[in-house]
Structure 1
Amino acid sequence: MKISRPTENEYNVASFQYRYIQAVTGEDAFKTLRENISVVENFYKNIPAEKLHYRYSEGKWTPIEVLGHIIDTERILAYRALCIARGEKQSLPGFEEEDYVKATNFEKQSLKNLLLQYKAVRKANIMLFKTLTTKELKRIGKANNINYSAGAMAWLITGHELHHLNILKERYL
């Protein structure tokens, strides 16, 4: 099973998501989906406990909130991949990430609980992507009024989390 790098007609290269897809090394998002389970888990387990709830500036997310955001975003992108793969004709809604983080209690959840959620979501999505045919992965649909292929969503999931891990490295470690 391989999910090849999306072509320019499978996502909007002018959108901010372009940087997420470019952040993924290699030519197989499926491989990165599998490998990043341990990457993310090890990364978070190496953050000193006192920094898990630290904000480097007012209004910025803590590392715990970032992990919650990564989980939420993966759930949304996987749902989009499923809908697009199944031929959904309507544009799927966007979401306001700041509002999602503010509306939850990530700060009151333990790192252990969030990592369990992360791994469960990732493993379920690996199974989802594993079942999609090449035709389904290449199928184009709309999310937030932007054209995407179902396969591009796998690249966005992995690139999005890498983007946030890089920010955490720069600002917190």
Structure 2
Amino acid sequence: MVLNMNEAFEILERTPKTLEALLSGLSEGWVTSNEGEGTWNPSEVIGHLIDGEKYNWIPRLKIMLTETEEKNFPVFDRFSHLKDYACLSIEDKLDEFSSLRKENIKKLKELIVEERQFELTGVHPEYGEVEARQLIATWAVHDLTHLAQITRVLAKRYTKEVGPWKGYLGILNK
């Protein structure tokens, strides 16, 4: 399967609305629960997504698209959101994420104008050379990964409460 930009946009554009529908207005217990020490709660995941919008996807794509020999990506701090957004409410985080995502989709549509650009590369600090098509595909799958993570965390709040039905609820058995 070859990356279809329009299909990637379908996911990238829907993620903010999906998260808002899922998390907006929930009580504190829902948005601050996690799966144990060292795991993120839904509110923290939104902070991580904000950081991705600011420091990961578009900045790395711009490096790939520049006509320069320096193609090394700066290291992305996957944990900075834990301190940077701790004081923000879930509503504020959702609004910030939605706004940043709209801007970044607009930028993405402006930056990628030719099929050949999908083959341009950058150097990831851990994976080495990666293509623009891989970065964009990863962006969409990253969204889906965190949507799955959030729904799993929410579901696990009621692991004991579902009693014997747990056996039928695959999300609780992973």
CA distance in structure 2 between the aligned counterparts of 1:115 and 1:28, rounded to whole angstroms: 23
User: Structure 1 residues 65, 155: CA separation in 2 closer, same or farther (over 3 Å shift)?
Assistant: same
Structure 1, unaligned stretches of length 5 or more?
7-25
User: Structure 1 residues 133, 103: CA separation in 2 closer, same or farther (over 3 Å shift)?
Assistant: same
Q: What SS does structure 2 have at the residue aligned with 1:147?
A: strand
Pick the aligned partner of 1:129 from 108, 116, 125.
108
Structure 2, unaligned stretches of length 5 or more?
156-174
- State whether residues 50 and 97 of structure 2, in contact with CA within 8 Å, keep that contact through their aligned partners in structure 1: yes
- State whether residues 70 and 160 of structure 1, in contact with CA within 8 Å, keep that contact through their aligned partners in structure 2: no
- State whether residues 89 and 142 of structure 1, in contact with CA within 8 Å, keep that contact through their aligned partners in structure 2: no
The residue that corresponds to 1:148 in the other structure is 130
CA distance in structure 2 between the aligned counterparts of 1:121 and 1:130, rounded to whole angstroms: 14
- State whether residues 31 and 43 of structure 2, in contact with CA within 8 Å, keep that contact through their aligned partners in structure 1: yes
The runs of 4+ residues in structure 1 deviating greater than 6 Å are none
The residue that corresponds to 2:168 in the other structure is none
CA distance in structure 1 between the aligned counterparts of 2:62 and 2:6, rounded to whole angstroms: 21
Following superposition, the deviation at residue 47 of structure 1 comes to 4.4
**Higher-Rg member (1/2):** 2
Tell whether 2:40 aligns with 1:61. Answer: yes
Deviation per residue, 1:105-134 (Å, 9 max, x gap): x23201221111111111111111111212
1:109-120 matches, within 5 Å, as: 109-120=88-99
CA distance in structure 1 between the aligned counterparts of 2:68 and 2:88, rounded to whole angstroms: 35
Tell whether 2:30 aligns with 1:71. Answer: no
1:11-160 matches, within 5 Å, as: 28-45=7-24, 47-75=26-54, 76-90=56-70, 91-98=72-79, 100-104=80-84, 106-131=85-110, 132-134=112-114, 135-144=116-125, 146-160=128-142
User: Structure 1 residues 77, 152: CA separation in 2 closer, same or farther (over 3 Å shift)?
Assistant: same
CA distance in structure 1 between the aligned counterparts of 2:30 and 2:149, rounded to whole angstroms: 14
Alignment RMSD (CA, Å): 2.4
CA distance in structure 1 between the aligned counterparts of 2:14 and 2:94, rounded to whole angstroms: 15
Deviation per residue, 1:26-55 (Å, 9 max, x gap): 972122222223222212226443221223
Question: How many residues are aligned here?
Answer: 149
TM-score (norm 2): 0.73
Deviates more, 1:45-54 or 1:59-68: 45-54
TM-score (norm 1): 0.74
CA distance in structure 1 between the aligned counterparts of 2:100 and 2:131, rounded to whole angstroms: 20
CA distance in structure 1 between the aligned counterparts of 2:43 and 2:76, rounded to whole angstroms: 20
Q: What SS does structure 1 have at the residue aligned with 2:117?
A: helix
